[in-house]
């Protein structure tokens, strides 16, 4: 019996049942609301899930920056199900309460004269699969076209 348990554990470990889900690219940031209550918006990202099972993103805590300046600390506003063995673009709904308006304003002036906007984020994303939760660190800094940084019109 002990032999079978050891063999099963070894096989499970050697197969690498879980592979990290990665954010491949960030393509668009759109703000629905920026105000005293905080920020709300969407982030269009390409997520790669190499696993043989779906992964549900349940939470995130990310310091969001524009042109190298932290403008807000955002969380995931809604859960997102990432299909198994997929590499697709997803719209992440984000919400934040800690907005740095001074940094946002100075970034706004820099954005006026730039062709591209440098968007960055650092923090973690939490996912759940097969009843197991895991926090993954996330760090990105990507240039996006100025046209892909939007404020939704009312």
pLDDT at 105: 58
Does a structural domain hold residue 10?
no
In a domain, 9, yes or no: no
Quote the number of domains for the chain: 1
Single pTM value for the model? 0.72
Is 129 a member of any domain? yes
Task: Look at residue 151 in the predicted model and tell me its pLDDT.
Answer: 55
Give me the CATH number covering residue 67.
2.60.40.10
Q: Residues 118, 68: contact at Cβ < 8 Å?
A: yes
The bridge status of strand 69-76 relative to strand 80-82 is unpaired
Locate tokens 């198994």: which residue?
84
pLDDT tens for each residue of 31-61: 787 766 778 888 888 999 998 889 999 999 9
- 25 located within any domain: yes
What is the pLDDT of the chain when averaged over all its residues? Answer: 78
Boundaries of domain holding 70: 20-151
Domain membership flag for residue 44: yes
* Domain annotation covers residue 143: yes
104-143 per-residue burial string, b: 16 or more CB within 10 A, e: under 16: beebeeebeeeeebbbbbebebebebeeeeeeeebeeeee
In a domain, 5, yes or no: no
Residue pLDDT, tens place only, 2-13: 555 554 555 555
Examine residue 144 and state whether it is found in any structural domain, yes or no: yes
* Strands 69-76, 55-66: pairing kind: antiparallel
Question: In the prediction, which pLDDT does 91 show?
Answer: 92
């Amino acid at each position: 019996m002990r032999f079978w348990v050891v063999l099963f554990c070894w096989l499970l470990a050697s197969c690498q049942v879980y592979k990290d889900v990665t954010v491949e690219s960030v393509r668009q940031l759109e703000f629905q609301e920026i105000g005293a209550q905080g920020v709300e918006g969407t982030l269009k990202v390409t997520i790669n899930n190499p696993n043989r099972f779906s992964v549900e993103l349940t939470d995130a805590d990310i310091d969001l920056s524009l042109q190298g300046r932290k403008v807000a600390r955002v969380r995931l506003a809604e859960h997102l199900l990432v299909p198994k063995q997929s590499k697709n673009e997803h719209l992440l709904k984000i919400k934040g309460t800690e907005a740095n308006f001074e940094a946002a304003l100075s970034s706004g002036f820099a954005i006026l004269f730039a062709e591209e906007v440098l968007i960055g984020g650092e923090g973690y994303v939490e996912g759940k699969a097969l009843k197991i939760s895991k926090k993954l660190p996330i760090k990105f800094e990507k240039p996006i076209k100025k046209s892909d940084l939007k404020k939704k019109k009312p």
